[in-house]
């Protein structure tokens, strides 16, 4: 996991600069092709090969997300950026809902290679769509001259939404990665989690569809505060859960928190950036998710190991309190971002 996350984090700012200076579509295409082709390398039964594959996979993932997010930023009307960000971030929810089951079915029917070959075909198909499809225009303006190297890599206006997304994403692994440990600690059969993950997937999709347009009808700060409040409710419910059904109820609240916070933070990053810095802005903002997932996984794994449940849910409330405090403190900056974004016509 570290071999995947490290290049995805370290190289992302450079990839964002490449999007701005070279080609949004080119970076997106290279990342997509990499995700498809590198999947086949996992079929080589050697740990060193897997580690190499993870490094390349993490690099391709960073290119895919940065190029794709910048495309969304370019195509979305300024008045519907929150909705567009919600739809874009809905797609992983659809994948999380359907693909684990499909992967297990392929594994059972076709052996170990089948899921990886299927993943390679999906990635290759996506790359062909990007290569042959005429519906994704490519316009990467020349980067600003005279910028310091660090400023060129990280977009300052996207640092705040990156921090907000990090604070929210710190809670994500509690609902997607660690439920098996919750089940073991409470004597719940692991098979009960099949329904749990299905409910979370459905909730994630429903939340993005229901909440999408609301994000553009209220101030970004309002959406962020509402998302943090709903996430806090999710953590509170999870802290008293003793069945998979109650934990699923908490997960549903968390899905609605995600549907508010992630698109709103992405929209803030787009609002505050100029057309020639969209790649850097998306790269900077998307670091929040990668850092939140990585730090959260390590942190909550340690807490669960040392303190058990419900300690991680209660401690995670601190991250949402910090998120709320940061939004209140920087509310004027968030307001300025949405104002400038709605006035901008690139």
Instruction: State the SS3 of 181-229.
Output: HHHHHCCCCHHHHHHHHHHHHHHHHHHHHHHHHHHHCCCHHHHHHHHHH
Backbone angles phi, psi at 248, to 5 degrees: -65, -40
d(CA 330, CA 165): 14
Q: Per mean pLDDT, which range of 109-113, 180-184, 209-213, 295-299 is the poorest?
A: 209-213
User: Is residue 198 over pLDDT 90?
Assistant: no
pLDDT computed for residue 342 by the predictor: 45
With respect to residue 343, please indicate whether it lies within any of the assigned structural domains: no
* pLDDT tens digits, 230-254: 999 999 999 999 999 999 999 999 9
Residue range(s) defining the domain that contains residue 85: 2-135+152-338
User: Is residue 3 over pLDDT 50?
Assistant: yes
Q: Is pLDDT larger for residue 341 or for residue 84?
A: 84
Report the range out of 47-56, 208-217, 309-318 with the highest average pLDDT. Answer: 309-318
Q: Is pLDDT larger for residue 274 or for residue 153?
A: 274
d(CA 70, CA 138): 10
341's tokens: 């974004």
Cβ burial, residue 135 (10 Å; 0-12/13-18/19+): exposed
Helix runs in 76-111, H state only: 81-110
| Mean per-residue pLDDT of the chain | 85
Q: Per mean pLDDT, which range of 79-83, 108-112, 287-291, 338-342 is the poorest?
A: 338-342
pLDDT computed for residue 117 by the predictor: 94
CATH number at residue 37: 1.20.1250.20
d(CA 57, CA 116): 13
With respect to residue 344, please indicate whether it lies within any of the assigned structural domains: no
Q: Per mean pLDDT, which range of 55-64, 130-139, 185-194, 308-317 is the poorest?
A: 130-139
pLDDT computed for residue 290 by the predictor: 83
Percent of the chain with pLDDT over 70: 89
Percent of the chain with pLDDT over 90: 43
Q: What is the mean pLDDT of residues 3-21?
A: 83
pLDDT computed for residue 53 by the predictor: 92
With respect to residue 145, please indicate whether it lies within any of the assigned structural domains: no
With respect to residue 113, please indicate whether it lies within any of the assigned structural domains: yes
User: Is residue 15 over pLDDT 80?
Assistant: yes
- Tell me the C-alpha to C-alpha distance, in Å, between residue 37 and each of 31, 118, 199, 308, 328: 10, 11, 32, 40, 45
Number of structural domains in the chain: 1
Backbone angles phi, psi at 170, to 5 degrees: -55, -25
pTM of the model: 0.80
Q: Per mean pLDDT, which range of 31-35, 133-137, 223-227 is the poorest?
A: 133-137
99's tokens: 């693909």
Q: Is pLDDT larger for residue 91 or for residue 30?
A: 30
User: Is residue 337 over pLDDT 60?
Assistant: no
Give the model's confidence band at 150: pLDDT under 50 very low, under 70 low, under 90 confident, else very high.
Answer: low
pLDDT computed for residue 341 by the predictor: 46
Buried b (16+ CB within 10 A) or exposed e, 224-261: bbbbbbbbbbbbbbbbebeebeebbbbbbbbbbbbbbb
């Amino acid at each position: 996991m570290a071999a995947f996350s490290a290049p995805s984090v370290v190289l992302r700012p450079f990839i964002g600069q490449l999007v701005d200076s070279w080609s949004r579509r080119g970076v997106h295409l290279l990342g997509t092709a990499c995700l498809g082709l590198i999947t086949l390398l996992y079929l080589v039964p050697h740990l060193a090969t897997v580690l190499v594959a993870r490094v390349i996979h993490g690099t391709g993932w960073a290119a895919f997300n940065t190029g794709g997010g910048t495309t969304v930023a370019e195509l979305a009307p300024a008045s519907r950026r929150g909705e567009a960000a919600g739809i874009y971030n809905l797609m992983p929810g659809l994948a999380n809902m359907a693909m684990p089951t499909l992967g297990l079915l392929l594994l059972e029917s076709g052996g170990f290679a089948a899921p990886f070959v299927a993943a390679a075909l999906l990635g290759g198909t996506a790359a062909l769509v990007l290569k042959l499809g005429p519906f994704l225009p490519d316009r990467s303006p020349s980067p600003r001259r005279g910028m310091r190297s660090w400023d060129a890599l990280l977009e300052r206006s996207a640092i705040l939404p990156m921090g907000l997304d990090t604070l929210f994403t710190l809670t994500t692994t509690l609902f997607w990665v660690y439920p098996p440990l919750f089940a073991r600690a409470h004597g719940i059969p692991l098979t009960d989690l099949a329904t749990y993950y299905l409910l979370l997937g459905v909730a994630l999709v429903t939340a993005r569809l229901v909440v999408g347009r609301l994000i553009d009808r209220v101030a970004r700060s309002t959406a962020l505060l509402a998302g943090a409040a709903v996430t806090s409710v999710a953590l509170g419910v999870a802290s008293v859960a003793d069945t998979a059904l109650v934990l699923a109820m908490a997960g549903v609240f968390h899905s609605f928190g995600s549907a508010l916070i992630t698109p709103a933070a992405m929209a803030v990053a787009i609002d505050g950036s100029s057309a020639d810095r969209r790649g850097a802005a998306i790269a900077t903002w998307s670091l929040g998710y990668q850092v939140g997932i990585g730090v959260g996984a390590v942190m909550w794994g340690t807490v669960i190991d040392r303190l058990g449940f419900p300690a991680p849910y209660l401690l995670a409330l601190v991250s949402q309190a910090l998120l709320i405090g940061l939004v209140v403190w920087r509310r004027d900056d968030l307001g300025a971002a949405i104002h400038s974004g709605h006035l901008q016509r690139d």
